[in-house]
């Protein structure tokens, strides 16, 4: 019997087979979820969505971040431009790939949620450490004495989201493990 | 000098508008002919072409022209309409497909030969389009070119035409629905789209930070407001272009999986095969 968890869907065509005694009947592929793709697509959406939330909430609504703060080096501006392009295109790409997973009935919702939280948390930490501190694109908030507290809370928030994602992934893995043993 | 732009009866107002309306009329006539011949033509495409033309007419509306020549923010609004939003509507309306369907077969074949030719492939390559579109913007705003154009009214028209043609070529190269036998693959086009969006965002931030274009009569506040408009307006246009691009990917994947299903072995839903022991 073929492996039920092969990722290539064309190979999965006759994956669902049953022996009725008189011979093996091959059944149409029971739409088996594509675990790793579900995780990565949702991770992409999560990271890009977090970047969008950052843009809208902190840049536009709270106006904590600056469009340009007179201290960002040229390389920071360039990386900011490329990252901005990546998040914009990534969000659209992510949603279309998600729609494609739904269409082909291969979405694994638990993995997707895990990936979504991991993406959100991962981007928040990346933004807090690489963008704010290393490239100095901008700071969390200007004109405050205790910037360290803001940085700490920012990265802690990211870490919590990331840990939620990891916890969901561990749960999702343990939920699919017994199924694997049966097939 | 400014009178020249804002008068409704001046040739610089009615000539471009007359051309635009003529093009729209030709498109609509071709669509009507499709319906008369019993062929289908998507209403979305027709709507896209109408909105593209409407955006161009709006961009050439005399008060906006006047504002665009006085103020850098106005110039950015025009640039956004002519170079980014209008081409999106026009390209997605697939005018070339409509032309090919309307022309008689020999002329159509000659046109297809041109579309499949090597020179056309180089000109319409996403990288060429990127260079013309974004490269042109870098040249315009970071060099004294912008200041020079302000003193020559006819160069303004050349500039608007360049924005339109380069914008159209870029959108066509990335997400054009028209047939192009040598169109590069989705991977290269997605990379070009990413570079374009990144270069546009960087240019607008650099203009904000380092006060480009220089040696003009615009104040710093005006340049910064224009750069912000360019950044967020560019976002909107790139977002729409990305949606158009990934939609083609989504549709292409659907077509591929359909052909596999119909050409493949398994047609019934449940029972698909039987192998004797």
pLDDT tens for residues B143-175? 888 888 888 878 888 999 999 999 999 999 999
C-alpha–C-alpha distance, residues B203 and B193, integer Å: 15
pLDDT band with cut points at 50, 70 and 90 for residue A9: very low
Residue A123 near residue A117 (C-beta atoms within 8 A): no
Task: Tell me the two tokens of residue B218.
Answer: 């615009």
CB contact under 8 A, B247 and A96: yes
Tell me, yes or no, whether B269 lies in a domain: no
* pLDDT score at A15: 46
Residue A23: what are its φ and ψ, rounded to 5°? 155, 175
User: Tokens 């290269």 — which residue?
Assistant: B188
Question: How many residues can be counted in chain A?
Answer: 183
Closest CA to A106 of A98, A115, A118, A96: A98
C-alpha–C-alpha distance, residues A101 and A94, integer Å: 10
Domain count, chain B: 1
Q: By CB neighbour count within 10 A (0-12 exposed, 13-18 middle, 19+ buried), where does A128 fall?
A: buried
B273 contacts chain A (CB < 8 A): yes
A82 contacts chain B (CB < 8 A): yes
Mutation choice for A interface testing from B187, B194, B236, B267 by most A CBs within 10 A: B194
Contacts with A103 from chain B: Cβ below 8 Å: 254
Residue A44 near residue A122 (C-beta atoms within 8 A): no
Query: What pLDDT, in 10s, does the model give residues B233-253?
Result: 999 999 999 999 999 899 888
Neighbours of A100 (CB within 10 A): 19
C-alpha–C-alpha distance, residues A36 and B102, integer Å: 48
For B229-266, letters b (16+ CB in 10 Å) and e give bbbebbbebbebbbebbbbbbeeebeeebeeeeeeeee
The domain limits of chain A are 1-32, 35-182
Tell me, yes or no, whether B254 lies in a domain: no
* pLDDT score at A179: 57
> How far out from the chain centre does Cα B221 lie?
30
ipTM of predicted assembly, 2 dp: 0.82
- Residues spanned by the domain of B230: 3-249
Could you tell me the CA-to-CA distances from B20 to A33, B28, B59, B75 in Å, in that order?
51, 12, 12, 20
C-alpha–C-alpha distance, residues B12 and B33, integer Å: 32
B207 contacts chain A (CB < 8 A): no
Tell me, yes or no, whether B274 lies in a domain: no
Closest CA to B50 of B58, B39, B40: B58
Tell me, yes or no, whether B255 lies in a domain: no
CB contact under 8 A, B270 and A14: no
In this prediction the pTM is: 0.83
pLDDT tens, position by position, for chain B (277 residues)?
A: 444 455 677 777 889 999 999 999 999 999 999 999 999 999 999 999 999 999 999 999 988 888 888 889 999 999 999 999 999 999 999 999 999 999 999 999 998 888 888 999 999 999 999 999 999 999 999 988 888 888 887 888 899 999 999 999 999 999 998 878 788 988 999 999 999 999 999 999 889 888 888 878 888 889 889 998 999 999 999 999 999 999 989 988 888 877 766 655 444 434 444 444 4
């Amino acid at each position: 019997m073929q492996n039920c968890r092969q990722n290539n869907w064309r190979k999965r065509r006759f994956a669902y087979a049953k022996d009725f005694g008189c011979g093996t009947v091959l059944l149409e592929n029971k739409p088996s979820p594509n675990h790793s793709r579900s995780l990565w697509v949702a991770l992409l959406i999560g990271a890009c969505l977090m970047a969008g939330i950052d843009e809208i909430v902190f840049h536009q609504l709270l106006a904590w971040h600056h469009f340009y703060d007179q201290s960002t080096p040229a390389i920071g501006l360039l990386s900011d431009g490329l990252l901005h392009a990546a998040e914009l295109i990534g969000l659209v790409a992510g949603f279309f790939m998600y729609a494609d997973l739904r269409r082909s009935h291969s979405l694994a919702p638990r993995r997707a949620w895990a990936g979504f939280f991991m993406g959100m948390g991962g981007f928040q930490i990346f933004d807090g450490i690489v963008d704010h501190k290393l490239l100095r694109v901008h700071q969390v908030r200007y004109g405050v004495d205790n910037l360290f507290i803001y940085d700490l809370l920012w990265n802690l928030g990211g870490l919590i989201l990331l840990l939620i994602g990891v916890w969901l992934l561990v749960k999702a893995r343990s939920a699919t493990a017994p199924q694997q043993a049966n097939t | 000098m400014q009178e020249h732009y804002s008068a409704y009866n001046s040739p610089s107002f009615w000539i471009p508008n007359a051309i635009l309306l003529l093009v729209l009329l030709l498109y609509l006539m071709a669509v009507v002919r499709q319906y008369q011949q019993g062929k289908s033509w998507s209403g979305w495409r027709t709507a896209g072409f109408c909105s593209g033309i409407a955006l161009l007419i709006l961009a050439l509306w005399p008060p906006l022209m006047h504002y665009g020549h006085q103020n850098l923010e106005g110039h950015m609004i025009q640039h956004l309409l002519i170079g980014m939003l209008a081409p999106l509507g026009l390209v997605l309306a697939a005018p070339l497909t409509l032309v090919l369907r309307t022309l008689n077969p020999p002329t159509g074949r000659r046109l297809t030969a041109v579309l499949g030719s090597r020179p056309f492939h180089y000109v319409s390559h996403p990288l060429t389009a990127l260079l013309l579109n974004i490269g042109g913007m870098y040249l315009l705003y970071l060099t004294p070119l912008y200041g020079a154009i302000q003193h020559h009214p006819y160069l303004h028209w050349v500039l608007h035409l360049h924005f339109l043609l380069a914008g159209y070529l870029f959108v066509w190269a990335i997400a054009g629905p028209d047939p192009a036998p040598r169109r590069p693959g989705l991977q290269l086009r997605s990379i070009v789209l990413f570079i374009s969006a990144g270069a546009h965002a960087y240019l607008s931030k650099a203009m904000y930070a380092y006060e480009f274009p220089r040696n003009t009569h615009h104040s710093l506040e005006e340049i910064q407001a224009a750069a912000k408009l360019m950044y967020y307006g560019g976002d909107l246009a790139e977002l729409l272009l990305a949606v158009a691009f990934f939609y083609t990917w989504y549709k292409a994947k659907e077509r591929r999986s359909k052909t596999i299903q119909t050409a493949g072995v398994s047609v019934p839903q449940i029972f698909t095969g039987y192998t004797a022991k």
